[in-house]
Amino acid sequence: MKPIVSPGRVVGLDVARALALVGMMATHILPDLDLDGVTLSHQLASGRASALFAVLAGVSIALMSGRTARQRGRELAATSAGLAVRALLIAVIGLLLGEVDSGIAVILAYYGVLFLLAIPFLGLRAPALAALAAIWVVVAPVASHLLRPRVPPASYDVPAFGSLRDPWQLLTELSFTGYYPAVPWLAYVLVGMALGRTALASWRTTAAVGLVGAGTALASWAVSEMLLDRGGVRGTLAETFTGPGDQGAIALTLDRGLYGTAPTGSWWWLVVTTPHTGTPFDLAHTIGTSLLVIAVSVALGRLAPRLMAVVFGAGAMTLTLYTAHVVARSEGLWDGHDPGTFVGQVVVVLLIGAAYRLGRQRGPLETAVGSVQSAVRRAAAGTPQT
């Protein structure tokens, strides 16, 4: 029988993936406002959980493309072909989920584009990826700020198969104007790829990642607050606010979050750390929190690998469980917005993950997507089927 923890598997990454899944479920189920303003669950999870998912996607890409070893030639081409097919399959699943009346801004179609954008960088080592990510955090939001007024405005629809009727609208939303715009969000994937190219399981690396993450998160928030406290800045934001939300409550809007991008009426919008704005400070802050969570998760995974592997087994099958969660949120099914619904769904997700891990099985969608990706990769590499 296969072991619960297979050799070479970094259990802490499954812990982090499970936490990201639970965080996204919290933003989907629990109210974001109460009498005191933005709820604690929303303050903790909004923007951070989805960013953690994206950083972890980058780590997975690095692990499936040689880890710390640099791939070249036909091997790199085969990995690229497999990743392209994986991107397509995940995007198709995302479009299917977009047809479900769940009220959730499904992330998977954006993920598909992110995976495609990552392909040109598969051959880079950790230092180059980290440097590129740092540049991307600054340059991509500025480019988006300049470009978005020149492309169709966001529809705020969830990408679905019906979106294919207007491919230009769909492309601009997936890339720049939608809920999880892939071009700015590539910064998350590049950071994750750099992380996956390091000796992540060593205590020294884990500690360094945690310290860098905490420092980045704190510094980006502090500098953003300092800039926002300059005279007239918040007034300018209120005057130039566009999109869904309340122009008269700019302070609440900045705490609650937006819908993927910041307005373009003023350059001052680029200094906010507001969730789901894709500004340099938002990207830097959520990269920092993601690195901190990953570092803590990896440490827990090293201290108690078998226990963590079972308790957080959901992290090894997030594609399946995220899909199940979206379907369960369909109108008339398990669609409540209360703590009982949240706790119930989290318990179910963790129990399913634990059962699959104890049974030494992969999730159904992970198995299907992984099998097709592996077949394409072997075919591209000229490796006989086994």
pLDDT of 307 reads 95
10-residue mean pLDDT profile of the chain (386 residues): values are: 79 97 97 89 95 97 90 92 97 97 96 97 96 98 97 95 96 97 98 94 92 98 95 91 72 90 96 97 98 97 94 97 97 92 97 95 96 94 67
Q: Residue 312: which residues within 8 A CB-CB, separation 6 or more?
A: 11, 14, 15, 17, 18, 19, 350, 353
pLDDT recorded at residue 199? 86
Residue 240 tokens read as: 């130039």
Instruction: Give pLDDT, residue 249.
Output: 78
- pLDDT computed for residue 245 by the predictor: 63
- Predicted local distance difference test score (pLDDT) of residue 9: 86
Helical H segments across the chain, by residue range: 11-29, 40-45, 48-63, 73-98, 108-118, 126-147, 167-172, 182-196, 203-228, 233-240, 250-256, 280-303, 305-311, 318-328, 339-358, 364-381
> Is the CB of residue 15 less than 8 Å from the CB of residue 308?
yes
The answer to whether residues 350 and 25 touch, using CB atoms and an 8 Å cutoff, is: no
Report the pLDDT value the prediction gives residue 120, as an integer from 0 to 100: 97
Q: How far apart are CA 3 and CA 7, in angstroms?
A: 8
